[in-house]
Amino acid sequence: MFLNFTFMKRYYLIGISGIAMASVAGLLKARGYEVAGSDQKTWPPASTLLENLKIKVFSPFSVENIKKYKPDVVVVGNAVGRNNPEVEYLLNQNIPYYSIATILKEEFIRGKKAIVITGTHGKTTTTSLVAWILEVAGLDPSLFVGGIAKNFNSSFKLGQGQYIVLEGDEYDTAFFDKGPKFWHYRPYVALVNNIELDHVDIYKDLEAIKFSFDRLIKLIPSQGLLVINQEDKNIQAVMNQNKDLPVTTTTFGLKNGDYTASGLEFKNDVMVFDIFEKGKLLTTVSTGLVGSHNVTNILSAIAISRFLKIPLKKIIEGIATFKGVKRRMEIIGVKNQVTVIDDYAHHPTAVFKTLQALTTKFPKARLLVIFEPGSASSKRRIFENDYIKSFKQADVIYIYKPYNPINIQAKEKFSNQTVAKALKTAGWPAFAFDDMDLLLKNLKTSVQPNDVIIIMSCRGFDGIFAKIMEIL
C-alpha cells in the first residue's frame, strides 16, 4: 500500500546518531522537509554530519523533545527499544511512525531502480564504489550508505538519475519489524558478496541468516540482476535452493566466476591487476584500495557496471579515482615516524582480511593492533577462537574490554583476558586492558619508529585517536 507522505513536512528521528539514521535525515532535508531528532548521545561521524547539515539534535531522550518539536511523522531507529520514553509518547498520542527502511522505500526508492549491496563484509566500500562509478558515468545516482564515502564526502546523495545505490543491511528493521532492512529495498540489482554468521543477538544461527538472503534474492525482478560471489560456500548453499529463479545471475571470484582477477601487483601504494570476463581479458585496473577483499569488491562492482552498460572507460576511471570510505584502513595521522590507522573492522573475518591487507601495504613495519569489541556479536564469546586466529597477523595486540555489554550473561560475554592469554601462549605479545590510561601507558613504552598502529572499533572508542596522537 502506498504511503502518501506529501503532507508530512516535519520529520523527527528517534535514535538519530547512528550513521544510517543521520543519512536518512540528510536525504529528507535534501528533499525539502524539516528534520530534527534525538539520541542519548552523539558521536562521529554522524554527529559531524548532522552538525554540518544544521539538523537539530535533542539529547537525552525525553517526551518534552517531541512535544516541543511537534513532528508530523516519526522515524524510529532499529537501536531504539520499546521502553524508550519518546516511543511510549508517540504510541499513546497516535503519532504516525515508521522505520528507516519504510521511509527509504516510499520516499527515495519508489520510482527508481535500486541497486542493493549486501553481504557480511564489504558492503560500505562496494556501495560507495558502485555509486562513484555511476557518478563518473554521468548517471547522477542517489546514494545511501553506512559510512562516509570520501568521493561524495557524505553517506548519502539525492540524485536525479534513475538509480539509487543502497547498502543492504541484514540487521533487523525496528522494534516493530524484526525482519532485515534489505527486504524493504525492492532490488532491481542485488549483490551478495559473502554470507557468514553475524548479528548473533538477533539470528540464532547461520541457517537463519541464509534464510534472510534467500528471501532477498526472491525479490529481484526477472529483468534485474543477481550478482554473487562464486567462491562463497554459504551463498552457493542458498543458490542451490533457488535453481529455478527466473533472474539473470552473474558470478565473480578471485579465481572462479564470470569475473575474475589475475596478475595482482602492489607498488607505490597502488594495487594493479587484470580483469577477466568469462575467461577473456577485459582490462587492467588500478586502485588505491589494498587487499584481496577489495579485489573481490571491485570485481562485483564491475559486474554490476557491465550489466548497466556503463562504458568500460568510465568503469576504469571510477575505480582509479575512488578514494575509499572513512574508517576503512584510514590513515588518520603520522607522528614521529609512527602511522596511526582507523578501521571499522569488528567481525573476525574483517579483522583478518584488514590485517592481511596492511601487511601488504606496510611489509616492513610492526603492526600494533588495538581492538575494542563494540558490536553486539563481538561482545559475545562466540567468536573468541576466530579472533585469536585473526590477530596472529599483528605483531603486538591490545584487546580492550567489551563496550557496554549489558544484557549479556557472564558466560556468554567476550573475555579480553582469555583471548590475550591464548595469544601469549602461542607466542604473540598480547595484552588485555579494562582501563584506557593503562593501555596508553603500555603503548607509549612499546611503540617504536616506523610502527603502524591500527585501531579497530565500530564506535568512537572514547576518543582514543586523539589520545594516541598526544602520547606519540
Q: What pLDDT, on a 0 to 100 scale, did the predictor assign at position 418?
A: 95
Q: What is the pTM of this model?
A: 0.93
**3-state DSSP assignment of residue 227:** strand
Omega within 30 of 0 (cis) for the link into 402: no
Task: Write down the pLDDT at residue 132.
Answer: 98
* pLDDT at site 345: 83
Give the strand pairing for 396-400 and 367-371.
parallel
Tell me the angle at which helices 312-321 and 292-307 cross, rounded to the nearest 10 degrees: 150
CA distance 329 to 81: 32
Torsion, Cα of 379, 385, 387, 389 (10° steps): 180
- Contact at 8 Å (CB) between 297 and 118? no
Q: What is the DSSP string of 326-340?
A: TTSSEEEEEETTEEE
SS (H, E, C) 66-134: HHHHCCCEEEECCCCCCCCHHHHHHHHHCCCEEEHHHHHHHHHHCCCEEEEEECCCCHHHHHHHHHHHH
Task: Give DSSP secondary structure letters for 381-404.
Answer: GGGHHHHHHHHTTSSEEEEEPPS-
Distance (Å, whole) CA 157 – CA 240: 36
- What pLDDT is attached to residue 7? 57
- Return the H-helix or E-strand segment holding 445: helix 436-446
**Residues 249, 217: Cα–Cα separation, whole Å:** 10
Predicted confidence at residue 45, as pLDDT, reads: 80
The closest alpha carbon to 175, from 98, 108, 118, belongs to 98
Neighbours of 178 (CB within 10 A): 10
pLDDT given at position 269: 87
Distances 94 to 10, 66, 70 between C-alpha atoms, Å:
16, 13, 13
Burial grade of 52 (CB within 10 A; 0-12, 13-18, 19 or more): exposed
Q: What was the pLDDT predicted at 451?
A: 95
Residue ranges of the chain whose pLDDT lies below 50 = 1-2
Bond before 44 cis per omega within 30 degrees: no
pLDDT at 3: 52
In whole angstroms, what is the distance from residue 190 CA to residue 304 CA?
A: 9
* Domain architecture of the chain: domains with CATH: 10-95 (3.40.50.720), 103-321 (3.40.1190.10), 330-471 (3.90.190.20)
pLDDT digits (tens, 9 = 90+) for 96-120: 999 999 999 999 999 999 999 999 9
| Bridge partner list, 275 | 261, 283
Q: For 265-293, b where at least 16 C-beta lie within 10 A, e where not — what string? A: eeeeeebebebbbeeeebeebebebbbeb
